A and B are shown apart, each in its own frame.
Chain A
Amino acid sequence: MSVGLAAPVLAEPGPPAPQPEVSIPPRRPWAQRIGRVLAAVLKVALLAGFIAPFLWMLSTSLQTSAESSSFPITLIPEVPQFGNYVEAMTSGPFLTYFRNSVIVTVSILVIQLALMIPAAYAFAVYDFRFKNILFGMVLLAFMIPGQVTFIPVYLMMAEWGLIQTLLPQIIPAMTNAFGVFLLRQYFMQIPREIIEAARLDNASEWRIMLRIMVPMSIPALATVVLFSFVSHWNDYFWPLVMTDSAAVRPLPIGIAMLRESEGISQWNIIMAGNVVLVVPILIVYFFAAKHIIRAFAYSGIK
């Protein structure tokens, strides 16, 4: 459920593409106007389609229990029930869940960046033996679904006595094969002359990587970070499998516990929990989106 909720956030249309009207041969103005109106209608319809579930979640989170389960559905709550948020957040150790989510996700992102950037740089810039085989192995890692590995990984973590800690949620996610792949492609587009010039200026390889390559790859990095953040922040199954106690569990499991195991679910409370879950994603999205746009505008790469 939580993964689904992230979709409208990700899928929100970006800034409208500049209209290449100038180069188009002159058309009759009415045809042009109709075309523009149609495009606008299409965009609004698309936007509405993607944003509606989000607004519905927000609205449901402020409804009374009766409103949230009534037919036809209530669009706007009569009296906003902010108490739903209090109820959702006091039904369990939510502060602990939230703290765990932050620690796990931030650790994963930091470690992933630290491992992914040098790996991608090496694959993009150097030639070495077995390079293609090694890169093939990275791609292979990116194709294996988590469900296949969770039993051996669990046994390994149990053997090391880590089940009652946050580490089983962090360690298996330290590497990001998709990120290595994407970043390598991006690094490869950067003209070799820039690297050669830096080398002539006696810049160290680390310096070239961190001061030249990374700033020029912000769009790719922002994309990778955003995807990685959303998937780890929303992850339910892996933490559920890897943890046995509330003390080390993240937010999505706390939200799942709001759902009724049998009988009638309190959708208003569940949605309040989901809003809390989604807000950090929105914050990171807005932050990343700004960088993606800026990076495209100033990077000088076409």
Chain B
Amino acid sequence: MKTQRLLRAGIGIAAVTSLTLLAGCSGGDDSAADSNSGVAPEGETTTIQFWHSMSGTNGESIDAVVESFNASQDEVEVVATFQGSYPETLTKLQQSIPAGTGPDISMIERAFVPLLAEAKVLADLNPFLESSDMSEDSFVEGLMGNITFDGELNAIPFNRSSPMLHVNKTALDELGLEVPTTWEETEAVANALVVKNGNETSRYGLTMNYESWWPISLIVQQGGSFFNEDGTAIGFDEEGVEAFEFIKRMQDSGALYYPPTTDSGNVVGQMFLGGQVAMVVNSSGSIGGYLQNATFDYQTAFLPEGERAAAPTGGANLVMLADSDKQDPAWAFLEWLINDPEGGQRFIKDTGYVPFTPAIAESEEFVELFEAEPQRKVAYDQLANSIDTNNSPHFAEIDQEFLKTIQAIMYDDADIETSLDAFIERANAILAD
């Protein structure tokens, strides 16, 4: 699985090179705001292709929203198609754009936007926002990182999430413990929650899914940054050592369970719901599933603070392709998604992603929802602490290196300082290219 993903990333990079060339040949696309582009003759329906990566119940939610849009008017028909996981969707875009078979709108994982933006294949959405009396301020500020390039807005936030602390409050209450808010408290609480049966641990204090975003946020919480300001080098040093020493200490004392790389989200989720671990750092996207299945008092909390509070965001954005000759009807759909209560608002409510506009969060429906499910409000409120983790077209490639470093430290007990130094060296070499 892992090698396959790496292989695909490699092929993706090769594809981007050819894609950049082809995009260059097509003579650029500053026709984004051309008001005549793709308007169908009177009475005819324009079909818009929308690619996404939502499967399972999230996929059903997307279908429901698209169906509702199609039923609401008869000028634009949106066809939504599942294109595999986020990396698979990226791969498909990378080959379909030069082939001229790309969609009009696509969902792109947050980390991949810079890659496509750099290749100049994404439409600038600012003119469209203006034409609908909106601006970048219409969206939640914490979600607007790394989608503006050369003054162009290349994506709008949609199914976004943020890592949170998910807590089995019942287990904490039994021991008279408070939900931790700092690193020190986290360590103390996680250790106190451990239950051992002889040599076997029947309950761990804390676990996290196998992702780079929590380690990255720990680094930022200590005052570092993943990339330096102009994106030319790695922006941390000592902070990385402190971050890994923190989680490694808990792993060594038996308080932290570090999951296998494959399917870690499901593994930690099932352990949490089954009572094998009392606290999980995982995406806010899990809230819905946990709420449905938890048999204990389930609460969420902000990520514990280090020197300061910081939480990255995840999930995906929506983009419009520069090549699309149906940009106006495509925008009609996007605008509906942003503003209509039956659009994005309904999708966010059904799935558990965080509201991407203040208007959704302040809607009557969400005020009530937040009251009934405060776990979700915590996720939204935490967006005030959002940080940028990946404002570089090289993030996807460097992230693979970072994950390898995480594996070396967490599975093989590699020396933290040497591993991180080696990572920084490799990453800087990639950035210097």
Contact = CB atoms under 8 A, between A and B. Distances in A.
Interface of A: 66, 69-71, 91, 147, 150-151, 154-155, 158-159, 163, 237, 240-241, 244-246, 253, 256-266
B56 interface: yes
Please classify the interface of chain A as helix (H, G, I), strand (E, B), loop, or mixed, using the class held by over half of its residues: loop
B56 A241 contact: no
9 contacts: A91-B60, A147-B11, A151-B95, A253-B84, A257-B55, A263-B58, A263-B265, A263-B288, A264-B286
A263 B91 contact: no
> Which of B51, B79, B91 gathers most chain A CB within 10 Å?
B91
A256 B233 CA distance: 38
Contact of B99 (A154, A257, A265): A154
B269 A263 contact: yes
Q: Closest 10 A-B residue pairs measured CB to CB?
A: A264-B289, A260-B56, A158-B99, A263-B289, A262-B285, A71-B274, A257-B55, A158-B101, A261-B55, A154-B95
Contacts of B21: none
Given A147-B8, A158-B96, A241-B91, A260 B57 contact: yes
B214 to A, nearest CB: 16
B300 interface: no
B79 A263 contact: no
Contacts, number: 106
Nearest to B288: A263
B286 A158 contact: no
B92 A241 contact: yes
Contact of A155 (B53, B59, B88, B99): B99
B283 interface: yes
B100 A261 contact: no
Nearest to A157: B99
B8 A257 contact: no
Interface string B112-153: 000000000000000000000000000000000000000000
Contact of B95 (A241, A245, A253, A266): A241
A240 B88 contact: yes
Contact of A264 (B60, B79, B92, B270): B270
Contacts of B31: none
A260 B88 contact: no
Nearest to A267: B266
B84 A256 contact: yes
A69 B272 CA distance: 11
A36 B152 CA distance: 76
Nearest to A163: B101
A156 B290 CA distance: 46
B83 interface: yes
A158 B56 contact: no
A257 B276 contact: no
Contacts of A150: 95
Contacts of B429: none
B101 A70 contact: no
Interface string B1-42: 000000110010011001000000000000000000000000
Count chain B CB atoms within 10 A of each CB in A70, A258, A259, A260 and give the residue with the most: A260
B294 to A, nearest CB: 11
Contacts of B15: 151
